[in-house]
Amino acid sequence: MSEAVRLIVGLGNPGAEYEGSRHNAGAELVSALAAAGGETLREEKRFRGLAGRISLAGVDVRLLIPTTFMNRSGDSVLPCLAFYRIPPAAMLVVHDELDLPPGVARLKRGGGHGGNNGLRDIIRALGGDQDFGRLRLGVGHPGDKDRVAGYLLTRAPVSERRLLADAMDDAMPILPLLVAGEWERAMTELHTRNRAAERAAEKGN
């Protein structure tokens, strides 16, 4: 068993102009998780983010959506971890993933930032510590690296939004397993659910 999750962070950019954008996929999942738990996330100035608490598998879990911009996510995450005395290894960061097609979600522990500016800044704020969990929500790639920024900051078409919603639906049931520290089981269950979505994406390419 790995470290049990006690903080779930959803990455995105603040402001109405970014709502529904691909880059806000992580924030969307955490908002949905809060709503499912009957919680309303509230602005916490000390964390520079929207914060709350829900019960998963009978355990209190903190939720955080940084209201810094994506490339300053560490300025929100670090004070939250410090205040609640949560080690980075007990954190799950939910974020958009260019290297996965829409409709696919994947779990990962540790590793680099993969070009994601939110992860890059969190690792910076943690002094290089990369030992935390990630829930990667596929948004696909525009096919040209010069188009990535605009692609991530725009709202996806309805068909793609439906695929993202499916990936979130697949991910929600495995979160209690992460809170129990059952990472291997959670990975197996999530990745099994996602195989059909991956096959469909491969056929479309």
Reply yes or no on whether 191 is catalytic: no
Q: Using CA atoms, how far apart are residues 82 and 100, in angstroms rounded to an integer?
A: 32
Provide the phi-psi class of 116: left if phi over 0, else alpha when psi is between -120 and 50, else beta: beta
Please tell me which residue in 23, 113, 141, 191 is annotated as part of the active site. 23
Q: Using CA atoms, how far apart are residues 171 and 187, in angstroms rounded to an integer?
A: 10
List the catalytic residues: 23
